Amino acid sequence: MYSNNYSKIEKDFLNKGLIIKKVESNKSLDYINKTIKKKLIKILKINIKVRNFNLNKLHKFINEKNINGIRLRLIESINKDKNFKKEFLTVAQTMLSNIVGNELAMQNNINLSIQIPDDETSLLPIHSDTWSGDSPFETVLWLPMVNCFKTKSMFILNAKKMNNFNKVFKSKKIKSISDLYKNFKKDLNFIKINYGKYLLFNQNIPHGNLVNKTNETRVSLNCRFKGLFTPYSQKELGSFFSPLKLRAATKIGLEYKLPGEEK
């Protein structure tokens, strides 16, 4: 039987569509933070010590013209790091097991977002990931490298408004994504989350971001997780996801052959 604590966690996630908690390993968070800073220093070719590099001020070194190129180079670099995925998982491993399951598939590549002040090139209009081929069985782990608030963060629809959202979405009144945003602007909540915490959220719930109107840069990581044997959509096991955790009984079952079938 599940503990009362687990029941509350499950209830909160089902009702709110998200959970914010302290990272489960400060050591892993420190590794992730230092790795990102070291790689950025190398990519940007700047003379600064890691401990003095403030990611909130990253916009001092990049602009709208080169931000995407730098982001893509950084994504490629962190995903080549053999330890990075392991440390990323460790920051929320217990909660992922509680919410998603103990036999997991993980997105092949961890994504990274950089949103500098007043940048209009890094926007994600209101959307659900399932609209672009993701499975409804996926959950997103979102890890900020800086304190995030207001337009320096992402917004997500109040989960209690989902039924109404679906009705409006199907109506003939909605002509564009912009119309959706206008209709539900009052029901969109900006996530307030500080460095040292993580967010798990239901990516079926509409979310997105706006132009960052603060004077600080947002740097955040995100990656999808799902139960290994739950249905896949367009983004399949192997091409987009990789097995992460298999239990002994699963390994036995996958390797089993009837007598006479052995090679």
Three-state SS sequence of 68-102: HHHHHHHHHHHHHCCCHHHHHHHCCHHHHHHHCCC
DSSP reduced 3-state for 163: helix
Q: What is the pTM of this model?
A: 0.92
| 93-99 mean pLDDT | 94
Q: Per-residue confidence at 247, pLDDT binned at 50, 70, 90?
A: confident
- What is the pLDDT, as a whole number, of residue 208? 95
% residues pLDDT > 90 (the chain): 76
Nearest alpha-carbon partner for 232 in 141, 138, 140, 142:
138
- What is the pLDDT, as a whole number, of residue 87? 98
CA 8 to chain centre: 23
> What does the alpha-carbon distance between residue 40 and residue 70 come to, in Å, rounded to a whole number?
8
pLDDT tens for 97-153 read 999 998 999 999 999 999 999 999 989 999 999 998 999 999 999 999 999 999 999
Ordered DSSP codes for 182-240: HHHGGGEEE--B-TTEEEEEETTS-EE-----SSS-EEEEEEEEEETTSPP-SS-BTTT
Q: Report the 10 Å Cβ neighbour count for 210.
A: 20
Residue 200 has pLDDT above 50, yes or no: yes
Contact present, 241 and 235 (Cβ < 8 Å): yes
Q: Report the 10 Å Cβ neighbour count for 69.
A: 11
- Structure tokens of 110? 């961890």
Looking at residue 159, the DSSP 8-state letter turns out to be: G
4-230+240-245: which CATH number, 3.60.150.10, 2.60.120.620, 3.30.43.10, 2.70.50.60? 2.60.120.620
Which residues are paired to 107 by β-bridges? Answer: 241
pLDDT tens for 171-197 read 767 778 888 888 899 999 999 999 999
**Would you list the domain boundaries of the chain?**
4-230+240-245
> Sign of the CA dihedral 147, 149, 152, 158?
positive
> What does the alpha-carbon distance between residue 49 and residue 100 come to, in Å, rounded to a whole number?
38
Nearest alpha-carbon partner for 219 in 62, 14, 100:
62
> What does the alpha-carbon distance between residue 34 and residue 48 come to, in Å, rounded to a whole number?
13
Looking at residue 53, the DSSP 8-state letter turns out to be: -
